[in-house]
Structure 1
């Protein structure tokens, strides 16, 4: 073999344009925080016996409030939560908790420290623009039949944030809220952005004020 001979090198036949395309198909990533500041609500509805229904249905608000106390809940952002009497938990019941978009609501969208969107007039009319009308649950008002229910509601100031990563710049039209109505409150049960579901981070969730609690016996 000549000292000038070079080893054979195999050249890949992978098209050069495919290599370039692989670098050009990277999807841009947009990240922003969607903040909601407004009224948080804990709402309990539990079926009770007719004995309890007849016993308590004519009490005034002060008397009904004595049925539901407060206790310290370890690990709860609030620290204090309502203590529902045991006789209201023994039958069918459900509990909803979260931000109430039927109350005045502020929505701000941030990209880092840059504010992209701000709406401080977010009563029911403005938030309704984001609600998927096919995603309602049954309103607790439908439960007001011959069977009595205990209804207890606590309210507090709430700040929740959704961290969104997407391949599109922010567009409010891509927000879709799935909601449930409970006796005048409308809870966000699911938050979608551009078809993706995101969970909230609770940034501020102070104590519920027992003076703002509403307790009712739902019984015709």
Structure 2
């Protein structure tokens, strides 16, 4: 890590690290990875639920809800083990026709974003290939980045969607879940790397295109 971790950061890093060790304990078997991923996502989801409850009690409602998909139009990144788990759930939940449609949307979007410079790519707004009728088609398996994005002010999300170049505006996100999810992923990756497992990060459309190319 590049800086000394706070107490909270260290706790979430350790949680992710232990789960990463579980994922890698038997030569990184799929069943071990998927079980560890389920536990990690369950832990962060429970934390999000608790934070949302406290926020409502303190008159700071979370504006994220089904049908609101502003954040599903911006750049999202997922790493290789998240995409592996995502692919597993997609094969269980989606028909071949749905998989083909997602691949086509991912391929089309990736053709655009792969040619953009970083700032332009981060500002580019286009629906996630997994978005269907305003909702994620594989919500249960969405990556960590999608789980920890909690906005307390809808107007800031709308402005960021409509005018991403406005540097005076950014979605009013809660910091704690962003930190918790990031540190859990850092710990999980650290454990895998200790076992010699290579981890790569992809734009969602790039990862989905690669994932579904053989289906």
Report the TM-score when normalising by structure 2: 0.23
State which structure, 1 or 2, has the greater radius of gyration over its C-alpha atoms.
1
- The structure whose residues are more often strand, as a share, is 1
Specify which structure has the bigger relative contact order, considering alpha-carbon pairs within 8 angstroms and separated by 6 or more residues: 2
Report the TM-score when normalising by structure 1: 0.23
